[in-house]
Amino acid sequence: MTSAADPVRYHLVRLVGGLSAPLRDTVGGLVDRPGKLVRSRLLTACAEFGRPDAGRVARLGAVVELVHLASLVHDDVIDRAAIRRGGPAVHRAAGPELAVLAGLACLSAAGMEAADLGEGVATAVSRTVAELAHGELLDVERGFDTGLPLPDYVDLVRRKTGVLFRLCCLLGAVESGVDSAAVAALAEFGVEWGIAFQVLDDCLDLEAAGDDKPAGTDHLLGLFGAPTLAALRRDTTGELHRLLLTPSFSGGDLPRVRELVTAHGGLRAARTLADVHFGRALAALGRTPDGPARRALVRMLEASRP
């Protein structure tokens, strides 16, 4: 685990560094590969509506990144994922027992830091973690469900991903000192962006191998995202449905899945769904004070759109 110049990463390293050696070392690789730090950047950008205490903002950023890290460690156990952020998933390198325990320890470190930052912070973080767990449960339950209605999928994505984006915006907004109407608007901005973000992430499973994991990983687990769910509703021949539920379904079937989903307009429909939620996020931003902070958030959001 290397120390970092960036203040959020500095606190992330500090928090994980306080764990006992075996637990700390188990997640060291992920701390060294922190990803794009989207969530802490979002928190920091929301705090810019006021004149926040930079030290507190960096510590809050580390809290949300650590909750995110813990959720990924557990998610990779549940998803039996091999790769995370271009390296082996924690449970592949250390085994599932250590992965689960190290994830828990990270969550505890985030919780203690949150409590030190204030009772409201600790409550908001704990509430979010419970919702994430509910979202993940819904994700597990939908395995091999080719008939999952899109509104149910959106509800799942809201809980699995949207609520953490919401937390980031909420914590940043409160630090900025904006009024309660603007806090609520920023929270809504966060949840809507989070939904759009996850819908686009689900598109990647069909489009290309990303840095994070090979394409098709979700489909092989029976987790069908927005493009495939939309395509299934339009597939009058039933071929896509039959293919996805074939007991011998394997990586070799993925190119045909991609063809069918594209032919039935699934990827287009998913991008339209993401656009709906990007639009709602921007509408919520319209209820925040005009100025450089709002414009910076618009730029961040636009940069994340394909």
Binding footprint of ligand FPP on the chain (CB under 6 A) = 67, 70-71, 74-75, 79, 81, 103, 107, 129, 132-133, 136, 160-161, 212-213
Nearer to ligand FPP, 160 or 258 (CB): 160
Stretch that binds Mg ion, among 76-84, 122-130, 149-157, 252-260 (CB under 5 A): 76-84
C-beta closer to ligand FPP: residue 184 or 207: 207
Task: Answer yes or no: are the C-beta atoms of 58 and 15 closer than 8 Å.
Answer: no
Cα→Cα distances 236→142, 242, 264, Å? 22, 12, 10
| Shortest distance (Å) from residue 255 CB to ligand FPP | 20
Alpha-carbon distance of 81 to 205, in angstroms, equals 13
Is 178 strand, coil or helix?
coil
Which of 79, 131, 202, 235 binds Mg ion (CB under 5 A)? It is 79
Which residue, 83 or 184, has its beta carbon nearer to ligand FPP?
Answer: 83
Which residue blocks in 143-179 are alpha helix, DSSP H? Answer: 150-157, 163-176
Q: Which C-beta is closer to Mg ion: that of 136 or that of 235? A: 136
> What span, in angstroms and rounded, lies between the C-alpha atoms of 135 and 124?
16
Query: Strand, helix or coil at 21?
Result: helix
- CB closest to Mg ion, residue no: 79
Interface with Mg ion, residue 6, by CB under 5 A: no
CA distance 262 to 256: 10
Q: Does the protein bind Mg ion through residue 75 (CB under 5 A)?
A: yes
By a kind-dependent CB cut-off of 5 to 8 A, residue 288 interacts, out of Mg ion, ligand FPP, none, with none
